[in-house]
Amino acid sequence: MAETNLNYGRLAKQATNVMSRHLDAFAASYGLTGVQLSTIDFLARQKNQSVLQKDIEVEFSIRRSSATTLLQRMAQKELISLSKSAADERQKEVHLTAKSQDLIQVVGDYLEVQQNSLEANFTPTQLRAFSSILTFLKKDEAGKNYKKNGDR
């Protein structure tokens, strides 16, 4: 039975904040932010597929303006290059640069340690349940049930 005093959304937000702080601290040692390091990891995992700015917006659940700022800053640091998409010139393609190639293994190793920690501390059944909950939250299913006037 669920404990009624817990606010699951607040707990998820707190956990996300702690994880983000750890990633940001790690990334800072490379002169980057956690989001920049995560973006490098995302791009590296695409294995020669064309990645558009909108793909990054979807992956990180961020707005276009946030993605634009992120990518502009990464381009200024020469971590990525941006070009017009051959398929749709209104879209920007994002490519890793040689400078960011050195960081792929670093971020991969960091994320692997995080994954191994979860796997070592929880059973596969618990991790599947956790994944289901996170997927539910990511889809914003809980938020869909709330109307602006507070009616349910």
Mean pLDDT confidence for 39-56:
94
Structural domains present in the chain: 10-141 (1.10.10.10)
Q: What is the pLDDT, as a whole number, of residue 48? A: 79
Structure pTM? 0.83
pLDDT at 144: 66
C-beta of residue 51 within 8 angstroms of C-beta of residue 94: yes
Mean pLDDT taken over the chain? 90
Q: pLDDT (tens digit, 9 = 90+) per residue, 97-108?
A: 999 998 999 999
User: Which residue type is seen at 77?
Assistant: K
Which amino acid appears at position 87 of this protein? Answer: A
How many other β-carbons are positioned within 10 Å of the β-carbon of residue 80? 25
In DSSP terms, 122 is beta-bridged to: none
